[in-house]
Structure 1
Amino acid sequence: MRQPLAFIYHERYGGRGTAHHRLAESWKRYQAIRELSIELGLNVRFYRQAVASDAELRRVHPQSYIDWVRQMDLRAEGFLDKSDTPAYRGVFHRAAVAVGGTLLGVQLIADGLTRIAFNPGGGLHHARATATSGFCVFNDLAVAVRWLMAERGIQRPVIIDVDGHHGDGTQEIFYREPILTVSLHQYDGRFYPGSGALEESGEGEGVGYALNIPLPRRTGTVPYLRALDEVVLPVVRAYNPDFVLLQFGVDAHWKDRLVSLRLTAQDYGAMMERFITLAHSTAAQGRLMIAGGGGYTPDAVVRSWGVALATSTGEPERAHALHDELTLAKAGDPTREAEAHALIERAKALHLPRWSGQMA
């Protein structure tokens, strides 16, 4: 029998705190996916995480920034960024809890207690080393990578980001290092955060280690999965990661209010199946840390995560009732699909030659 998936949970994910509507909705969905995993009878074990310490946060964020976030917490007014992330009493604790959850997940995996862990409150990919952005205060996946490399001897971690928004903070943190970061996202040069063009591929020692797949609106299932199969997965296999970290935002779902990539709940199951196979076929030996990320239509978030979690535990049949009904209204736009396919060809031409010597 396979080991249970480690589901990381904290009561601070349950919805108390700021009245800001998007943040409140996010915390409610964490409770909902926990309840759904119980209802479906999935093979999961729940763990309550601790709050990340200053020393852990300092693996990525300078103490001056950590102290500033504390001060904004005490002031409880204004924003931590331009206008997205409100300052309120408890904002520091919530952000540190999110990091603590992802740290616990990678520790459980590294210690052999599980092969797969899920932290629904993680995936805060817009956070930079010294700046808050897009509801993201501390970058949990970046902190986890630094911890794995320093404390467990991991040498080739990979962060794969399927959130509908570009993982700009994560990219910036590792942009000049030979650590592979991957982001598939909606892009037109204006859509938030405005970064993530195909040509953004790293600098210095990091040249070639930032892989961006900037997709047009209404891309749909077929080009999206093709981008995974023909660009992302070949590059990651060539890199041969010894630990896979996944930012699994589900805001590319067709019902999402902010993103328009038009994926379905079952697409997330198909993606998760690919990532599990990837983790098992590389030096990662099945080690996979999943962080929640974005999603702004609660029903779509819970169903998409439910399908993905059931796939992760080897029980996809338990989530069939969560699948979307396929209709033309949810299909990709033919014009946009053509643009996406052309983009994929450009991505292959840019990235595959860089890794061709390491491809089987």
Structure 2
Amino acid sequence: MGGGEPRTIIALGLEGSANKLGVGIVKHVYADGVPPSAELRPEVVELANVRDTYNPPPGEGFLPRDVAAHHRETIMPLLKQALAEAGLAPRDLDCICYTKGPGMGAPLQAVALVARTLAQLWDLPLVGVNHCVGHIEMGRAITGADNPIVLYVSGGNTQVIAYSQQTYRIFGETLDSAIGNCLDRFARVLKLPNDPSPGYNIEQYAKRGTKYIELPYTVKGMDVSLGGILTFVERLAKTEPEKHTPEDLCYSLQETMFAMLVEITERAMAHVGSQEVLIVGGVGCNLRLQEMMAQMAAERGGKVFATDMRYCIDNGIMIAQAGALAFARGFATPIEDSWVTQRFRTDQVHVDWRT
């Protein structure tokens, strides 16, 4: 790294872009100081990672105002729990990181307000973080993936990403609904519980499916369209329930959508010449998706990296992780610029901690 003075950065991360509220604390250790130009590769120590989820009744989605109310009620107890688990006081922190976007407006605003207030009360720098970049950086830190093609799949996002010239470039994405949103909406049609998550419950139903039902398969270059397949499978569930079991419908929906994602991910690997795939985001917990992607990667002599629910599902420590990297490079968000945005693109972030 270059023989500088040792440095430690302890960052608090607040995540609340959807129905998951997370508070995480991470410590970065730079034994030889922060290098001025080389890629940052600190020792990463997880100090706390706590989360609480707003779950509406089965068959119902969640409204932004209800999610925001949940976050307002829950964030202070969660913050105290995280600090207690880490054994830290506010004076031990170096910065407060929060999700600037993308996400649902009201929940983002609720959490940003708390972050802004704490930064002023505790006299700490504030660091706004892109939610998607948080997922990527946490995935890289946990799995050890070096320079992978990233498949980012969640309730609000579906993207194939590759790093180039200090930017996470989007190679392909959904043209309409995100895959997690599709799974959530179909779970509501089937009246599946929202606990622990609609996508998880669809995965369990799919494991019991035995008959594949042909569904629309729409890949357009490097992009996918998921709205049509959702409309089609919803119609089957409502108009032909005697012909198709919920298990077979879940199985067919998963197999078709995941095959579309594998196709565009493989095309990105071929273009970039990468042998690594990193799966991040809430849908990345799905074991069948990991299995299909691993089979494709193995045929190319490559490898898949994935994490479990602690890091795939939205969490606070991923915001702390990305924020700490940016903070080490001298980045901070002025209070007057600490607004949030529902449309914060992955490729709008200057990733100056990588080379």
Q: TM-score, normalised by structure 2?
A: 0.32
What's the TM-score once normalised by structure 1's chain length? Answer: 0.32
Say which one has the larger Rg.
2
| Larger relative contact order (Cα-Cα within 8 Å, sequence gap ≥ 6) | 2
